[in-house]
Amino acid sequence: MQQITESNIIGEYKLENKLKILGFAGSLRAGSYNKALLHAAVELLPEGVTLEIFDLLGIPAFNQDLESDMPTKVKEFKSKIREESDAILIATPEYNFSVPGVLKNAIDWASRPYGDNSFDGKPVAIMSASIGMLGGARAQYHLRQMFVFLNMYPVNGPEVIVMFAQDKFDANDKLVDDNTRKFLTQLLQNLANWTRRLRGERSILLCRQLRLGS
Ligand code: FNR
């Protein structure tokens, strides 16, 4: 086998495997801070990573009678999770100290029918925004509990918990708080690294082009 030496390296380039993240928000509100947080994430993605945002609007209330022929929007959601994403990003408000029904409902659908859990084995990162002083932290911990049953692999940090959200976004729903942008950027980087690690890939493959025969 040819040895790699200084003299036979004629080119070097870095190869990063592309990653696709699917993001959804636990709020249907047009002016939702959590939706705005997902839009901020699109701007702050690491290189080689894309984020598609899926709107949960239109997913009906869960009905186990419909599991054998799921509503179209649910089929679409399940297929986006399973076939079109490497990782999941959830942005959620906290309702009554827990996860909003809209989000729980969507998760319940995607986890069914038994044995066909679309989330199985997926890496996931979470973030929350609230107008209150705890930023939705309690909803995040209820989500983490669900990930155990769903067999998902959550990123542990940083915890992106946006308290007093009304002060962190401008009139056009743009995230303008520098500290939050910094934490969100780090969370996205950690999600990408974690996803690659779970797939047994190194974050960046260094490829060397060698002069043959030298
Ligand atoms: C809330 N809100 C709220 N906030 C919080 O920090 N803890 C809570 O338990 C609750 N509970 C709650 C219940 C219900 C039914 C509503 C509608 C709201 C306030 C919530 O954080 C705030 O409305 C957020 O702005 C909602 O998120 P979006 O829609 O901006 O993404």
Sign of the torsion formed by the C-alpha atoms of 184, 185, 187 and 188: positive
Give one DSSP letter per residue of 75-121, joined into a string: HHHHHHHHHH-SEEEEEE--BTTB--HHHHHHHHHHT-STT--TTTT
- 158 cis-preceded (ω within 30 degrees of 0): yes
What is the token pair recorded at 62? 């869960």
CA angle centred on 133, ends 36 and 31, rounded to 5°: 25
Ligand 1 atom at minimal distance to the Cα of residue 31: 30
Atom number in ligand 1 closest to CA 136: 6
pLDDT of the residue at 5: 74
Tokens of 168: 């962190």
DSSP string, 128-166: EE-SSTTTTHHHHHHHHHHHHHHT-EE---S-EEE-SGG
**What pLDDT, on the 0 to 100 scale, is given for residue 38?**
98
**Ligand 1 contact, 132 CB (< 6 A):** yes
Please name the amino acid found at residue 95: Y
- pLDDT for the residue numbered 120: 98
In this prediction the pTM is 0.89
Q: Is 2 helix (H, G, I), strand (E, B) or coil?
A: coil
What phi and psi values does residue 125 have, to the nearest 5 degrees? -125, 150
- pLDDT attached to residue 214: 47
Closest atom of ligand 1 to 96 CA is 9
Instruction: Say if CB 188 and CB 44 are below 8 A apart.
Output: yes
The Cα 190–Cα 195 span in angstroms is 8
- Our answer on whether the CB atom of 127 is closer than 6 Å to any ligand 1 atom is no
Q: What is the pLDDT along the chain (214 residues), one digit of tens a residue?
A: 667 677 776 666 555 679 999 999 999 999 999 999 999 999 999 999 999 999 999 999 999 999 999 999 999 999 999 999 999 999 999 999 999 999 999 999 999 999 999 999 999 999 999 999 999 999 999 999 999 999 999 999 999 999 999 999 999 999 999 999 999 999 999 999 999 999 987 655 555 666 665 4
pLDDT number for residue 210: 64
